[in-house]
Structure 1
Amino acid sequence: MKAFTTLTTTAAPLTDHDRLMANVDTDMIIPKQFLKTTEREGLSEGLFYELKTLADGSPNPDFVLNKPAAQNAGILIAGENFGCGSSREHAPWALLDQGITCVIAPSFADIFFNNCFKNGILPIALPAHICEALAGQTGGANHQFTVDLAAQTITTPDGEVLNFDVDEGRKATLLEGLDDIAVSLTAESSISKFEEQRRLAMPWLAGAQT
């Protein structure tokens, strides 16, 4: 998993009638027809498919991620309860494949929130009025945001510095680029020692004759 330290990029606001979209579920993030693979590459094709694609299959020019200014956005700003619905891990995978490594919203569904950290995405919860204000500063390629995980700050295009909270354990694993398996492997020597002690004390568990 790629480490998350600092991110300087443009941001894309996910809006509906000029308001940040609330209750964006995982089926909206990536519809079920794109879940037939366990490969993580190529999933951006299905990201927000029903929003970014017109009925005839052509790109929706009004969808934010289809607009030239948001093509390389690394931050997504959304409304409350982002990532609700099913627990599909393809949702953060699709965001990553699009190049989005930070999602800012007033609140997140628990499973999606946890899956973000496990896949190298930083989810940041900020009050709704602040999220709306940030969305108002996403005007184009020159509107750069900087997210500093170590300092737990967001620097906006107008120079304002905002603080955010993050669990210290999750912060550490993101900074080091450690997924769940990698975290377990940091204790590999202790695990091996335990397994050897157990083998000697209970050889029958390993199929040895007593």
Structure 2
Amino acid sequence: MKQILITIAIAGVLVSCKNTSENKKDADDSAVVETVENSTDQVETNYVPIDSDEALIAASLMAAPEASRDGCTIIGYNMAGDFVTLREGGNEFIVLADDPKKSGFNAACYHKSLEPFMARGRELRAEGKTGPEIFDIREEEAKSGKLDMGKPGSTLHIYYGESDLYNPKTNEVEGAQYRYVVYLPFATAESTGLPEKPVGPNHPWIMNPGTHRAHIMISPLPDKNKN
């Protein structure tokens, strides 16, 4: 009987030690997780103003496909307010840099075959023409063959946001998003099978159908992981 009582007592001690050890391990694991989570919460991105041509170029290049950024030609207003070629390039893309004098951020990257169309718009805008006037003039010139509209399917990539702050480590602009435009002059809903209005998030649709400026609009939803 005495031996049985001793055996029971020893077993109780062992179980108690095991439970204490497991509880301590659980507590240690929880502390590690909490520490990691707290450390993650404390990580902040240091966004800064775009205050140099170098920063302007780096941020504007985010509009271009990543694999093509090294070879893009970059044009636009520099920090001094002059419209210049900020960098010569040799591939199929032209980047139109953000205008430092305007609020927010808006850079674009387009296929070089669209340059006559884009340049004509800038020219007319410099003459003081309004948006509707520019549309009508280019519509007439495109229909007559005077204005080269580029290769059907040429794409415009837009990188835009309300902020003009960027991260020097990644060149990303705070809160910026992407939008894509695929030009198909004089295309319609019937010729493409696309709706004339978006039917849901991320859904492509055709804008300005039947005109020189007909294009497919694609507006991806923001990446929540970057917020």
Q: TM-score, normalised by structure 2?
A: 0.24
Q: Which is richer in strand?
A: 2
Which structure carries more relative contact order (alpha carbon 8 Å, separation 6+)?
Answer: 1
